[in-house]
Structure 1
Amino acid sequence: MRSALKFVMALIVTILLMLAFRALVFTVYTVSGSGLEPCFVSGDRVLVNRWSYGLRTGGGPYFRYTRWMPSPVERGDLVAFNCPADSSVPFTSLPVSACYCTGVPGDTVMADGVRLMVPGRDHIVKVSESNMRLLCFLYNRYEGRNAEIADGRLIVDGAETRCAAFGNDYYWFSSGRPSEPYDSRFFGFVPETHIIGKVSVLLYSVDPSLPFYECLRPGRNMQLIRKPRPLGAK
């Protein structure tokens, strides 16, 4: 009886440690769809380092968002994040996506033929007719401010704003494929609160169309994820 109790206690402790490790250090996600082909295919299992940009805690209905030992996302990083496509649930409950970071605060990106500056804590954005609706959206959705557009002016908390300042850093993400628009071209800027971590390792890959005893794809295991080579580099 005592040996059985020890076994149960050891099993419980092991499970708790595994859950803590998954929540606080690394998390494994499964790639679905074709958005990141040819680098990744549906069925890949990737490891996400939750400490890459600082550990994110809270953000739900009971605990305030906090990021421990924060560091910025860098251009070219393959980042896992909660996709900001739905505002009806806490952002930590949103579906997880992965894209390459192609715009950090202060950069200029193109969206529908319009040049937009990526906002951030240390980057003031001049309000113009082309970016006014987007800035208004960011204030209302992520900044906890009351913003509206009236008579061609951006009104924030009851006062006209000509130079927009923000409390969050934002990022622009790309799938890397012009034909795959499910990235910032679809859901816009991604706030730092939605960032989970960097995709760091391709652990293994499973072909769901094959039986379990031969479903592992050869040559797709334990591969470090490196930044893509800049355009024009040799």
Structure 2
Amino acid sequence: MQLLIADLHLHPAQPDIARAFVDYLRGPARDASSLTILGDLFEAWIGDDYQGEFERTIIAELRACHEAGTRLAFMHGNRDFLIGEGFAADSGCALLEDPTVVELGGERVLLMHGDSLCTRDEAYMAFRQQARNPAWQAQILAMPVEERLALAKKLRQQSGEANSNKAEDIMDVTPSEVVKTMEAAGVQTLIHGHTHRPAVHDLEVAGAPAKRYVLGDWRPDQGWQLRVEGDTFALESFSL
């Protein structure tokens, strides 16, 4: 069994979700051969050099799950794009490029966080290009911790304000971009998160039937996962 999750947005202000994730790592994740996290594990990450008690607890639980035999993989999201090799070494998570093609259920499957598919949100796409620039990241990481904490808080506030004024369809994926991306990768199955709109979409790619699985975000009362057993893909919600 292989599991995929995304968009937990872990933060000290949401201890219920953090506790549920710890239980998940100690339970279902240890029954799986692998657990892949497709971005936004944390609500914010200002650099591997800053780890408070909250971050250290999550890292320790990931490491314990890894040492119990579950292969862990992590892909950057739009909130935790500053996670680096230090986090990977401490947690036992392998870092995945976005996008990445893997073999799941006996087929080639494209994994993404999903934000790069939201091309109608031009303002966000401009920010994404900046935020994924290594030079910009190096500049941010060179700032004192206090300044990075303040910047992260400011960016979260700005994001919330901006999203409240955007049309719903702008913040969802662009259908033509989905097809183009899947065709370029040579796959008929795509799995991503980011939009917080869990669903299984049927579509056509390169003249053949295809599927797009969208992982849901975790909330105080509900979590989401994609479970792959054999050639069966099951998008599931569960109570926290």
User: Normalising TM by the smaller chain, what interval?
Assistant: under 0.3
Greater helix share, structure number: 2
Greater strand share, structure number: 1
Bigger CA radius of gyration: 1
